[in-house]
Amino acid sequence: MTYTLGSYAPPPSVWEELKQELKTAAPELGIDDIGFASAEPFVSLRGILQNHRDKGYESGFEEPDLDKRVTPALPGTEPASLIAIAVAYPSKMENPPKSEPGKYRGIMARSAWGRDYHHVLREAMSRLEAFIRERVPDAVLESMVDTGALVDRAVAERAGIGFSAKNCAIISPKFGSWIYLGEMVTNIPFPPDQPVTEDCGECTKCIDACPTGALVGPGQLNAQRCVSFLTQTKGFLSEEVMRKIGNRLYGCDTCQIVCPKNRGKNWTHHEELQPDPEKAKPLLLPILDMSNREFKETFGDTAAAWRGRKPIQRNAVIALGNFKDISAVPKLSEVLLKDPRPELRGTAAWALGRIGGEEALNNLEKSMKTEGDPQVRDMLQQALAKLNADAATSENTRSESAAPVPEAAEEQGSAGAAAGKASAGNAAAEPEQPRPAIQGVEPMAVPEGGPEVLYYDELQSPIGTLTVCATEKGLCLIEFGSFHVKEAVIQQWCRTWSGNGGYERDEARLAPVTDQLKRYFAGELKEFTLPLDMRGTSFQLQVWEALKSIPYGTVCSYKDIAESIGRPKAVRAVGGANNKNPVPIVVPCHRVVGADGALIGYAGGPEIKRTLLAIEGITLGR
């Protein structure tokens, strides 16, 4: 059927009919969701955008004219409707390549995993335009994809695609926030759809997990602090930002990964958006050797290429520094001494300061003699000061290691001593005390003595990859999953318990932990002898202490634990504390079962709990 616009326009029911026809055809056009809204100006949005600008929260990539951002317009005619579309993209990668010593990898945000979404959306919008023009030849249509003047999230929210979340993303009830958005302005008077009434409720996980605190409030993003924005800039970055970028090469998915609305959502039906693992998690060192042509050949078809190779190469240097990859020192030294770009030289100086070692120190000193850029010289001085301070500390540690351990230190356990032995190359070193005391604290913003660094490593086990974390005092976290998967959870722990001091991989420091866990899984170890630094509420600490007394190869009930701590009526609360045990396996919360033997209340899930009990020779009926 062909529809005609004009003074004798068809009745609204005809436009409703066309609207339903478009909704039905959307999947064939490559569109996962489509919504319709009025083209009235977004009046209240203007004040929000002005306030955002006044506070300095803009990224600088936005349309500078606020009126254009809130007022739909068409050339030569008045707009009547807005059409919003959504295309879903994947959140998971099958068999992702893993970082290994000497072969460390970066990570691209999911929005850059497949083919550049700008092209995918534009092609979908073109098909939509053709579909409409075939039915309404005199229609005026103007499409926008990410680069248009209008705020695409405001259009999508008004058109019923989803609701505006606290992390500033649009969350679709069906697809979660793993969606690309596009919009179209038209003079066709489509009947509007109803906005989604769902919202985030009391959840603030995205705000809590944001690496740099860029989410300054619900629905309020300071783009100048957002890791996603910072990875796309081309200049120098601060020490704080470089540590928190980790191994991200482009973008950041943390606020989406932790969102409960995204749980279990992964979309694989658009083949062109599926990730190439070697592009989505590329090796870092080869990136530093890429010419402009090689960069375009490798990443040119992804959304990560739009800013060119310099930001990606700078971020690769940052990642090598955060990995403390000693094998990268020659290449980083080459960047420091020969690269014509000051931002790359300064970042290489920072990375060499993070990695340390004689070769790094020598090349930093060599660069200091010839470097003329003042900001690079400043970063060189900071790196040299750090390495010299580390060297002095190391010398003092060696001098003090021969002296008797002070009595107070013995009472606190020997986490520091164990870490020192491991760093010296004794991977199997264990603390001297068989059952060191748990170091517990109440929640705090910044620990006494300032923010603490969290050290981590990964371990392959019969129950999958484990991420183990420790402070200077001892083991504090064991997470079920790789660091990449659990990064947001670990970040949140840092913000809550260690003053947001950041984290770094340290295989030697965690060697005693991984060694004992391997022996446990092999059936060779029945009691762990590791210093612990468990942080929780007073009640949680009391429950976790009681869990330690459950012998290997036995089980008890939640009621038994409640009675053992003198709180017989607190069975439900005990179950909650048991579920939040930060160091499962070592503190054996898996040995607590329901009164009827049911495998309930375990953070790792019933199958992992069953496997752990089987290792200890326990088989339960349920």
Residues recognised as catalytic:
589
Q: Are 588 and 555 in contact (CB under 8 A)?
A: no
Q: Phi, psi at residue 556, to the nearest 5°?
A: -145, 175
Q: Are 190 and 178 in contact (CB under 8 A)?
A: no
Measured between alpha carbons, how far is residue 462 from residues 519, 520, 523, 552, 609 in Å?
12, 11, 12, 18, 12
Q: Are 175 and 263 in contact (CB under 8 A)?
A: no
Report how far residue 555's alpha carbon sits from residue 207's, in angstroms, rounded to the nearest whole number.
38
Measured between alpha carbons, how far is residue 67 from residues 116, 150, 340 in Å?
29, 9, 42
Counting Cβ atoms within 10 Å, is residue 11 exposed (0-12), middle (13-18) or buried (19+)?
A: exposed
Closest CA to 593 of 577, 609, 617: 609
Closest CA to 310 of 346, 278, 283: 346
Q: Are 399 and 373 in contact (CB under 8 A)?
A: no
Query: Which residues have C-beta within 8 Å of that of residue 341, sequence separation ≥ 6?
Result: 310
Tokens 């993209």 sit at which residue? Answer: 89
Counting Cβ atoms within 10 Å, is residue 203 exposed (0-12), middle (13-18) or buried (19+)?
A: middle
The structure tokens listed for 30 are 């490559």
Report how far residue 551's alpha carbon sits from residue 488's, in angstroms, rounded to the nearest whole number.
33
Identify the sign of the CA torsion 369, 370, 372, 376: negative
Strands (E), 241-394: 248-250
* Three-class SS state of 18: helix
Report how far residue 146's alpha carbon sits from residue 182's, in angstroms, rounded to the nearest whole number.
7
Q: Are 305 and 116 in contact (CB under 8 A)?
A: yes
Count other C-beta atoms under 10 Å from residue 67's C-beta: 11
The structure tokens listed for 423 are 């760093």
Q: Where are the alpha helices (DSSP H) in 548-583?
A: 558-564, 571-579
b or e along 329-368 (b: 16 or more beta carbons within 10 Å of the residue's beta carbon)? bebbbebbeebeebbbbbbbbbbbbbbbeeebbebbeebe
Report how far residue 541's alpha carbon sits from residue 577's, in angstroms, rounded to the nearest whole number.
8
Residue 557 CB-half CA count within 13 A:
12
